[in-house]
Structure 1
Amino acid sequence: MPLLRTAIRPWIIVTILCLIYSVFTVIQNNGDPLALVTIGTRFSEGNPTGQEGYDGQFVYYIARDPSIAAQYIDVPAYRYQRILLPILGRLLAFGQASLIPWTLLLANLAALATGTALLEKLLVELKANRWYALSYGLTLGTFVSVRLTLPEPLAYGLVIGGITLANRERWPGAAILFALAALAKETTLVFVAAYALYWLYRRQWRVAILFTAVATLPFILWQFILYDRLGAFGVGSGGALATSFEIIPFAGVMRILTEGGIAVFLVMMPLIAFFVIAPTLWGLRRVWCDFPEWSVYDFMLFANTSIMLFVPFSTYREPLAILRFIVGLQIAVILFAAWKPAPHALRNTTFWIVTVLFILTLYTPNGS
């Protein structure tokens, strides 16, 4: 029994539960693996009044045939910029369309397992309990994103890998992983900015310049390729019906009231206040108190909390979208609280696990 307890790890539990959840979804849909990508007839059949589906369908369309997928996508350049997961799914399936839903699941499941395992290792190195890794691996933004075929598990798994290598001063490898993360989802560039600022702050000019160049150049080149092929850069705040980043802090939240009405605001505010605003304000306060003696974890926390102030209204108004967006914030808070240490804050990160219960009422609004 003691041996069993030591053998069980958070990443194992997360992986098994996620696999069960994903397979159950397929079984519930008569064995159709396309249930994992949530296809909507509005895009698959070009029917303006059809079902909308969700963002995983765009990953699937690109993986199935990158050369013609644009006709099935709401904002092609925006979706194509997140190229890593669809290309990986296509390669693993050897181009066989029938296998692609499964290979996309496999890629994301492996990324979730690896990211959670590496976060465990980081926590142990910081002398914190490894089980706080569940505050990353067993939340909506990662766990549910595997079942929905979204890029977050792969993108942030690579981020955690990059942090692991950076902690060992293996800058070239870390930069490569961050570059891949950016090609999975552009929001991971927040971590690149954090590391660049950290090294500039420490006057490590050479490391800052080389790291930033390696971590961002592939993404920049890909943006120009997208512009050449699709006539637009991919960088933006979202797909169809998306709004731009805000200028006034938390204006995206207040617009829920002014544009969505009091009823929508009252429904959304408990979720946003508890899972987003509270940790954001806590993080900003902690880094303010630490200044000017900032560690790399301060910079990670500062970067990820600062961006939350300006997140678009279109992201804040959708529960699924905002809970996907905060994965970077979750990682930053967990690692900062473990490093500091801040035991109370670290315990509070486990409340993010509650977000996984959204699987009970899963729906498919406009994503981000």
Structure 2
Amino acid sequence: MFQKPSFFKPIHTTHISLMEAVLVAMSTKEDDLCSLTTDKLSYDLTTMTSDVEIVTSGNRRIPAHSGVLAAASPVLMNIIKKPVKRYRGCGSKRVIKILGVPCDAVSVFIEFLYSSSLTEDEMERYGIHLLALSHVYMVPELKQRCSKGVVQRLTTENVVDVLQLARLCDAPDVCLRSMRLIHSQFKNVEATEGWKFLQEHDPFLELDVLQFIDDAESRKKRRRRHRKEQDLYMQLSEAMECIEHICTQGCTLVGPSNVVGNNNNKSTMVAEKSKPCKAFSTCYGLQLLIRHFAVCKKRSNDKGCLRCKRMLQLFRLHSSVCDQPETCRVPLCRQFKKRGEQDKKMGADTKWKLLVTRVVTAKAMSSLCQSKKNKCEEEAEHLIKTKELARFVD
């Protein structure tokens, strides 16, 4: 496998075998052909006398320079500082073995140490192997680029292998994206050979994946429930505004119109026209409830009326959020306000307090969003007028 210096944090033996198994499973038959191909390194320093030879799995020997390798990788620097071991046929050159990955991937790795360049085709073919090499030999720039490249090329077929290697290579971003892909396409991933290998050889990682999926589903349910609650609070906030609108101004579409008398003091009344209500559906429903509440005869019975009880709750909620009870024209506002003061002395209901707080918060957020929306609309209108004026001047 990879040659590791003494100061480099060792990887556990089982992890090394697992990393090598993943790399071998993902590599093609390039190792069989690498001894027949020629080196493709294009950096100019190869014209100088090299003092290091990199030996790959296919027994390919890549010439390199100790100064360049030591400057690019602290792990290689530590290897180079060790005493030279003589090998037959190598002369006085130092030999560094990089095994366990395709020899072409090693060539690309060495070329990156010289030129810091990596093509898309090289990333497509050797990205997973370069990620392992960049981790073992501590090349952070290459590791960052490989992490992005590997994430962009994740599929249901290779995601389990990438996840295993990413955990060994300490690449949390790759792990997270792999987990998310497994969660979103678990049925397809479950049918792959990689998942079956994971179940047989790494049950702890399988447990982590299943726990991640369970947590993700729980978070999704909580977000959905929270969204429904926020929608409910926004609807109640809108209902409070509509109640004030109906009881103070009236609504020309569904409620009593503002009435103006003529100069002759006759009984003839003229409805004042105004713009349609913005929250028509909510306003219309509340208007019907108010009309029913005014004429309902079951309200005084023992069983009571469900619609009247709902209207009373809305009146009570309005009274809890109203800050001007003395001048408010909403029915029962002052009565509920006095009753609320008595409940405070006796200890008010905690759930009702929480409901009032959240409705007030929703009302404030709605006002803030509306003000931002109006500001954006004003800026857009100003920009349009400016452009029209500039066009007219030209």
- Normalising by structure 1, we get a TM-score of 0.23
Larger Rg: 2
- Normalising by structure 2, we get a TM-score of 0.21
- Larger fraction in helix: 1
- Larger fraction in strand: 2
> Highest relative contact order (Cα 8 Å, sep 6+), 1 or 2?
1
